């Protein structure tokens, strides 16, 4: 069964047809795959991942940046934003929001 897990991934299952998934399930003995011929694609993918001990979703991570440093800056900016809102300082508020937006954009751009 460990050999089967090395051959397959969640992404591969996601792009396979129901017929292909049932062929894969045919060769695996696991209680999650009982009645695999009656399962639809979503349930079959979940059962296969459970049987092969695979993650049921793709994990994304930020590469090339120090995400914790960016998150700390966002926390500080959030506090400054609250202070600017309370003081009705619209110019400072706009600068803070744009800075926060650029940090969030850089985190998303680095996420793979």
Q: In Å, what is the CA distance from 99 to each residue of 68, 71, 81, 108?
A: 16, 13, 11, 14
For range 80-89, the mean pLDDT: 97
The rounded mean pLDDT for the chain is 90
* Residue 14 within any structural domain of the chain: yes
Percent helix, percent strand, percent coil in the chain, to nearest 5: 70, 0, 25
This prediction's pTM: 0.55
Per the structure, the complete domain to which residue 45 belongs is given by: 2-52
Kindly state whether residues 45 and 73 are assigned to the same domain: no
Least confident of 4-8, 88-92, 96-100, 107-111: 4-8
Per residue in 12-35, pLDDT tens? 999 999 999 999 999 899 999 999
* Residue 57 within any structural domain of the chain: no
For range 82-100, the mean pLDDT: 97
């Amino acid at each position: 069964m460990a050999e089967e897990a090395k051959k397959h991934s969640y992404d591969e299952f996601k792009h396979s047809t129901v017929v292909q998934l049932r062929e894969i399930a045919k060769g695996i003995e696991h209680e999650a795959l009982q009645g695999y011929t009656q399962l639809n694609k979503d349930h079959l993918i979940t059962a296969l991942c459970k049987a092969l001990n695979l993650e049921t979703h793709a994990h994304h991570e930020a590469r090339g940046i120090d995400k914790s440093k960016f998150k700390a800056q966002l926390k500080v900016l959030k506090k400054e934003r609250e202070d600017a809102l309370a003081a009705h300082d619209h110019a400072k508020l706009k600068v803070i929001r744009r800075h926060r937006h650029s940090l969030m954009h850089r985190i998303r751009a680095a996420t793979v």
